[in-house]
Amino acid sequence: MQISGNVAIVTGSARGLGRSFAETLLARGAKVCLSDVDAEKGLETEKELQAAHGADNVVFVKCDVTKDEDYNKLWDTATEKLGPVMLLVNNAGIGNEKNWQLTMDINVGGCIRGTNLALERMGANKGGSGGVVVNVASIAGLKVVPFGPVYASSKHAIVGYSRSLGHEFYYGINKVKVQCLCPSFVQTDLLVNSKANAFSPEVAAVLGKIAGTFKYMSAETVSEGLIKLIEDGKNGGCLVVEAEKEPYYVEPPLA
Ligand SMILES: NC(=O)C1=CN([C@@H]2O[C@H](COP(=O)(O)OP(=O)(O)OC[C@H]3O[C@@H](n4cnc5c(N)ncnc54)[C@H](O)[C@@H]3O)[C@@H](O)[C@H]2O)C=CC1
Ligand SMILES: CCCCCC(=O)CC\C=C/C=C/C=C/[C@@H](O)[C@@H](O)CCCC(=O)O
């Protein structure tokens, strides 16, 4: 998909990777609807990005991805203020092993709610002109992650969901491409919060110790991966972005 001139929604974009995705899309000529459950931070980010990229190109709408009604309002406002939405980046996510229900509801539920809505609003079979959905999983969706089993399960679910819905069978019906992005480590609040909400003090201690050994990338490196995924346009594509490596697709058999 061409990025320039198109409208994108990025969930969880008040800070962290989501903010970087929004900035990168704006720099490539897209209009971006920011959204987040944290309205205070979201409005601050809106102000900063409007100053950098133009007031007509950025808007913030509060959306808790666990709530269908918020998603509907988000899509309506984005369309009204910026134009027809062609790209949805389901990015909002947490790492909370103690509250596993919330982790699943935000990480997996958020992607499913967002994707369902995108299919409803963009689907060629529903009167739309097609589009792209990118679900932000993680390399944790492809690996064994002893310090975050719930988080890893949520990300494995996103990979399976995105690759299955990204099957040509669905594209033939709705002309919506569904892809997923699997980054490795980036220093964001998610890492701090994951340690605070680890399964037990022992796991938190291990995570605290090994966190110093991870190879971290910048959020911008991950954002370049997002752009590659969108521009390559590989339906069902699952792109891994790791430090010190070129981004690569994983291709487990679909059948
Ligand atoms: N930081 C990392 O190393 C990696 C992060 N990821 C994924 O990237 C995504 C973004 O994570 P980060 O930027 O690192 O985290 P972050 O904690 O910096 O940002 C997450 C954003 O999501 C928002 N959010 C939380 N719950 C929400 C809800 N219910 N509804 C809407 N927004 C909500 C937060 O307010 C925050 O602005 C997540 O899905 C995460 O799992 C994937 C791989 C690596
Ligand atoms: C629970 C903490 C969440 C952290 C946010 C992420 O999604 C980051 C990725 C999480 C887990 C990754 C596991 C990877 C395991 C490996 O087998 C190996 O590839 C690790 C490479 C580490 C490095 O890049 O230095």
CATH of the domain at 88: 3.40.50.720
Evaluate whether residue 127 is within a structural domain.
yes
Does a structural domain hold residue 170?
yes
- DSSP class of residue 141 equals G
ipTM exceeds 0.85: yes
Q: What is the mean pLDDT of each run of 10 residues along the chain (255 residues)?
A: 97 98 98 98 98 98 98 98 98 98 98 98 97 98 96 98 96 98 98 95 94 96 98 96 97 64
> Does 254 map to a domain?
no
Asked whether residue 219 is domain-assigned, the answer is yes
Residue pointed to by tokens 């669905």:
170
Distances (CA, A) of 56 to 33, 46, 60, 85: 11, 11, 12, 15
Domain-embedded: residue 154 = yes
Quick check: is 1 in a domain? Answer: no
Domain span holding position 230: 7-240
Q: Is residue 249 part of a domain?
A: no
Q: How far is CA 164 from CA 116, 138, 194, 227, 252, in A?
A: 14, 17, 28, 21, 11
Ligand 2 environment, Cβ below 6 A: 95, 138-140, 143, 145, 147-148, 151, 184-185, 190-191, 194, 214-215, 242-243
Number of domains in the chain: 1
In a domain, 248, yes or no: no
